[in-house]
């Protein structure tokens, strides 16, 4: 797979996210998504540039993964209904970034990927995504899930972080050659994640059939 393909899918997801401004009553969890995806795309461009020039991209990937995990937690905070779980997420949004940066600065170091706190972030997002589906199954009304952006977002997050948790969690302890071989798996997971985001923003767009 071409190394630029995940970036292309990221840009497509960003362009799709702009369509939310077509709707006056857009949900809160969708409002910041275009800016977040733009940040991801710019960071990916810088990261790919450093990689192509044989330079470390950890100074981008480490902070970005912390921001990403925190943002997805915030997104699910806006999606779910339980006040108790919302309070837990607020605590996570305070503790997780601080512990991650402390881990990078004083434990795992700035010259390695923060596998410990990233793995914790993966588990948190997986748990919150599962909770979203639990709330979904308890609804007393019928929803057309195909046209629910939250369904596509949480589905993508659940699949992506369930798969990347065991992969990224061991990147610092397996040979670099094995990591390079897993690169195509990481890229495929990125593509699927941003594809789910693209569907989330386009699922409400109605195509009018022309009559001749």
pLDDT for 149-188, tens place per residue? 999 999 999 999 998 887 766 665 666 666 667 778 888 9
- Count how many domains the chain has: 1
Interhelix angle 115-137/58-79, rounded to 10 degrees, is 20
The per-residue pLDDT for 97 is: 97
The per-residue pLDDT for 171 is: 61
CB 46 within 8 A of CB 23: no
What is the tens place of the pLDDT at every residue in 186-195?
A: 889 999 999 9
The per-residue pLDDT for 212 is: 43
Q: Which domain does 80 fall in, by range?
A: 5-202
The per-residue pLDDT for 210 is: 44
DSSP the chain: --TTHHHHHHHHHHHHHGGGGG-TT--HHHHTHHHHHHHHHHHHHHHHHHHHTT---HHHHHHHHHHHHHHHHHHHHHH---HHHHHHHHHHHHHHHHHHHHIIIIIS-TTS--HHHHHHHHHHHHHHHHHHHHHHHT-SS---GGG-HHHHHHHHHHHHHHHHHHHHTTTTTS-HHHHHHTHHHHHHHHHHHHHHHHHHHHTTPPPPPP--
Could you tell me if residue 212 is inside a domain? no
Could you tell me if residue 159 is inside a domain? yes
The per-residue pLDDT for 131 is: 97
Could you tell me if residue 174 is inside a domain? yes
Could you tell me if residue 51 is inside a domain? yes
The per-residue pLDDT for 174 is: 62
Residue 83's CB is within 10 A of a number of other CB atoms, namely 8
Could you tell me if residue 209 is inside a domain? no
Could you tell me if residue 70 is inside a domain? yes
- CA distance to 3, 62, 90, 148, 159, per residue, from 189 (Å): 13, 18, 28, 22, 8
Could you tell me if residue 207 is inside a domain? no
Dist CA 78 CA 87 (whole Å): 12
The per-residue pLDDT for 92 is: 97
- 10-residue stretch averages of pLDDT, the chain, 212 residues long: 80 94 84 94 92 89 96 97 96 97 94 90 96 92 89 97 79 62 83 96 68 43
Could you tell me if residue 164 is inside a domain? yes
pTM of the predicted structure, to 2 decimals: 0.91
């Amino acid at each position: 797979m071409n190394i630029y393909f995940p970036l292309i899918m990221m840009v497509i997801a960003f362009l799709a996210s702009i369509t939310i401004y077509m709707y006056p009553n857009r949900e809160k969890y969708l409002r910041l998504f275009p800016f977040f995806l733009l940040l991801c795309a710019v960071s990916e461009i810088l990261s790919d540039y450093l990689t192509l020039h044989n330079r470390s991209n950890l100074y981008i990937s480490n902070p970005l993964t912390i921001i990403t995990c925190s943002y997805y937690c915030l997104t699910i905070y806006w999606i779910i209904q339980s006040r108790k779980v919302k309070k837990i997420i607020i605590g996570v949004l305070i503790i997780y970034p601080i512990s991650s940066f402390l881990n990078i600065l004083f434990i795992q170091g700035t010259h390695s990927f923060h596998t410990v706190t990233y793995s914790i972030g993966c588990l948190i997002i997986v748990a919150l995504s599962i909770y979203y589906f639990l709330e979904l199954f308890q609804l007393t009304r019928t929803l057309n899930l195909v046209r629910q952006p939250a369904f596509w977002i949480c589905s993508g997050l659940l699949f992506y972080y369930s798969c990347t948790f065991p992969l990224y969690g061991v990147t610092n302890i397996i040979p670099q050659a094995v990591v390079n071989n897993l690169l195509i798996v990481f890229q495929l997971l990125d593509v699927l994640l941003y594809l789910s985001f693209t569907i989330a923003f386009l699922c409400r767009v109605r195509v009018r059939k022309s009559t001749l």
